[in-house]
Amino acid sequence: MKFSAALFAGLASAAAISPRAAPSSLTIVSVSTSGNGCPQGTVSTTISPDRQILTVGFDSFYTYIGPGTAVSDRTKNCQLHLNLKYPAGFTYAVIQSTYHGYALLETGVTATFFSTYFFSSDAAKTTTTRTTLTGGGEWAAGNVYTRVDAVPNASIIYAPCGTTSILNLNNRVALTSTNSKAAGEVSTDDQTVDLTQQIHFNWLSC
């Protein structure tokens, strides 16, 4: 299964920055990962041609719950450390996540997707988004989903101006259940359905 991520850059202090189109170049210098949801070699990254979206693909982000499954299968985590290179005079902030994938959730099972963002230069400032899928109905037999989760304006965190800082993205998928006999999974049903998260950028001038 692939878990993609598209990252949006946002608004910084009005006194220091102003809205601006995306920079003429954006390069992923390096990506490192940690966590049981992304063993080494299972993560891919791409940047959209307009440099507004970063897509991160995870090939091992499977979660399961129900009879015959292990407790450790119920939650998976993957932390990415992204070193992005772009021209001077720009800043950005993560403002939205779009989740797309496949889920099979029987009645009583809930899937929750968490994403936490912060820059290494100021790790004390973090923002977290969360979205859920509630089992039963269209999810009982398995279905493809798309969910958009925006970062509240008051929680947007900006990259520091005048320096390069590592963007850290911590993704977690957790399955919970109120029915011990119910089963659930967030995975992939075949090679055509990938679990993805897109993170979009809104560029600004410093």
Average pLDDT over residues 84-90: 88
- In terms of Cβ atoms closer than 10 Å to its own Cβ (0-12, 13-18, 19+), residue 42 is middle
The range of the structural domain enclosing residue 86 comes to: 18-205
Average pLDDT over residues 98-108: 92
Domain count, the chain: 1
Does residue 97 form part of some domain?
A: yes
Does residue 132 form part of some domain?
A: yes
Does residue 39 form part of some domain?
A: yes
Does residue 5 form part of some domain?
A: no
Does residue 6 form part of some domain?
A: no
Per-residue DSSP letters for 75-93? EEEEEEEEEEE--TTEE-B
Does residue 58 form part of some domain?
A: yes
Average pLDDT over residues 55-72: 90
Does residue 3 form part of some domain?
A: no
How far, in whole angstroms, is CA 120 from its chain's centroid? 17
> What's the CA gap between 203 and 98, in Å, rounded?
18
Helix (H, G, I), strand (E, B) or coil at 205: strand
Looking at per-residue confidence, does 1 or 113 come out higher? 113
- Write down the residue that tokens 């911590």 correspond to: 170
